[in-house]
Amino acid sequence: MRQLSEVDRDAIRLAQDPKFTRWLEQIASTGGCAHPVHLSGSTTTWSTATNEILHHYDTRDEPGERLSVRCRNRRATVCAPCSRLHAGDTFHLVRAGLLGGKSVPESVRTRPRLFATLTAPSFGPVHRAADGEPCRPRRDGGHCEHGRRLGCGTAHDSADPLVGQPLCPDCYDYPAHVLWHAHAGKLWDRFVIGVRRRLASSVGLAQSDFPAHARLSFARVAEYQQRAAVHVHAVVRLDGPAGPDDEPPAWGTVARLTDAIRTSAAHVLVRTAYSPAVGELPLAWGAQIDVRALNADRDSMSDDAVAAYVAKYVTKGARETGAGADHRLLTWDDIDAVPATRHVRTLMRTCWRLGGLAEYEPLRLRAWTHTLGYRGHILTKSRAYSTTYAALRAERAEHQGLGQPPDAGSATDALWRYVGSGHTPGAALIAAGVAEDLARNGAIARAELNSATGVALGSG
């Protein structure tokens, strides 16, 4: 008789369980999540008028006396099914802010709306791929103080591992790169304040009066470029003072908003804390700033394309983009174990080393070594931009008949505790199969998403 693998034996054991059908239902309701969280507990809903129990659910009757829920990880490398769901939610969240829907009025379509890309400045020349053009050509040749050539001249393929690597690692300003990441959140906050200030001053308003006239909303996503520096894509919208339901003032035009974004990005300056080792660095956005109007006439870039473009980035972990690791690094030696380029590893080591300096303690650089010092979320949005992930999840739960909001006159008591996570080998195999089936069934929706993503958005 053929020897069965451990996975097969485990899968057979599961399939022979009398509660297998119900177990499979649970797996399907998590979308085939690769690392589900297991909970044990109960929910009881009763009428406040009669004390009659209207609904009772207890995991005691479930397979293994537990209920499995999604891990909700956004990264495709960690959990493909949950990352697909997260990308879908992000798509709807960004789309609602552009086109309305999900509690956002459709009138947002006619508001001044822009898609802006802000980059990091240069920390030293890196190899780049430019459509068959030679990389950093230099007629006069020349060498840096470390004896490395100042130019390159090779026509790199975009898959060339050299692309994004510095021409001279010794000339490259690693501390500035890491510290820029650590201050990216502050640079963004100052940028937003600057946009409001410039809009106000362009029409002779005092800055403090701006909130009485208009409101700026945005959703932004961070992306690692090939040189492992974060850049930011943002959807920016101008509403009236009350937000999405309110018309902006007549002076709130696309041209004025574009101008305010450009000038603010060009002028923001954040200084690092003084360090005897590094000095005090002035940090700014890179000179490459791209601002495009999103027109209602859908001439250039469609709103769906923008939403899909943003959604695409939230599923990528730092590891997948080759710019870091998906998990926190706990020791200096962990850095060696990360599958990354020499450039990324040098950034990690710089991050760890600077993290040991007292003056940089508030930046928590060691805790964020895996993201090269960047502490922000991948997606951030202002409150008035559109709906929330929580609202989208609640809507989905309602569709599935779970977690219905209690009727008036009823109360719910819930008691839950965490009892574990993950799959046994056989369960993992079955869950992967369920996830694949669901993915195939959802292919129509995703094909739409992909065709929208396929729209060329140029460099960024």
The one among 39, 54, 144, 284 contacting Zn ion by CB under 5 A: 144
| 168 near Zn ion (CB under 5 A) | yes
Rank residues 54 and 144 by Cβ distance to Zn ion and give the closer one: 144
The answer to whether 96 and 102 have CB atoms below 8 angstroms apart is yes
- In single-letter form, the type of residue at position 155 comes to A
Q: Specify the residue, 154 or 202, whose C-beta has the smaller distance to Zn ion.
A: 154
Q: What mask of x and - would describe binding to Zn ion in positions 314 to 353, judged by CB under 5 A? A: ----------------------------------------
Q: Which is nearer to Zn ion, 82 or 351 (CB)?
A: 82
If the CB atoms of residues 75 and 233 are measured against Zn ion, the closer one turns out to be 75
Question: Is 139 a residue that touches Zn ion (CB under 5 A)?
Answer: no
Q: Which of residues 43-72 bind Zn ion (CB under 5 A)?
A: 70-71
Member of 24, 171, 293, 357 binding Zn ion (CB under 5 A): 171
Instruction: Figure out which of the listed residues 116, 152, 205, 344 binds Zn ion, where binding follows CB under 5 A.
Output: 152
Number of residues that bind Zn ion (CB under 5 A): 14
Does residue 85 bind Zn ion (CB under 5 A)? no
* Residue type at position 20: F
Instruction: Indicate the residue among 94 and 152 with the shorter CB distance to Zn ion.
Output: 152
Is residue 129 within the footprint of Zn ion (CB under 5 A)? no
Render 300-369 in DSSP notation, one character per residue. Answer: SS-HHHHHHHHHHHHT--TTTTTSS-SS---STTHHHHS---HHHHHHHHHHHHHHTSGGGGGG-TTTTG
Please give the single-letter amino acid code of residue 382.
S
Give the nearest distance from C-beta 302 to Zn ion in angstroms: 30
Tokens of 411: 């109360």
CA proximity to 353, closest of 296, 239, 277, 458: 277
Strand partners, 149: 143
Minimum distance between the CB of residue 144 and Zn ion, rounded to whole angstroms?
A: 3
Regarding 428 and contact with Zn ion (CB under 5 A), the answer is: no
Contact criterion met (CB below 8 Å) for 279 and 423? no
* Residue 181 burial (10 A CB sphere; 0-12, 13-18, 19+): buried
Question: Which of 154/380 has CB closer to Zn ion?
Answer: 154
Q: Which residue stretches of 16-130 are H helix? A: 20-29, 80-99
**Which residues have a Cβ under 8 Å from the Cβ of 308 and sit 6 or more positions away?**
91, 449, 450, 452, 453
Note whether 84 binds Zn ion by CB under 5 A. Answer: no
79 touching Zn ion, by CB under 5 A: yes
**Is 135 near Zn ion (CB under 5 A)?**
yes
Binding status of residue 170 toward Zn ion by CB under 5 A: yes
Count the residues in the chain.
Answer: 460
- The verdict on 33 binding Zn ion (CB under 5 A) reads yes
Q: Scanning the structure block, which residue is given the tokens 């929580």?
A: 390
Q: Which residues bind Zn ion (CB under 5 A)?
A: 33, 70-71, 79, 82, 127, 135, 144, 146, 152, 154, 168, 170-171
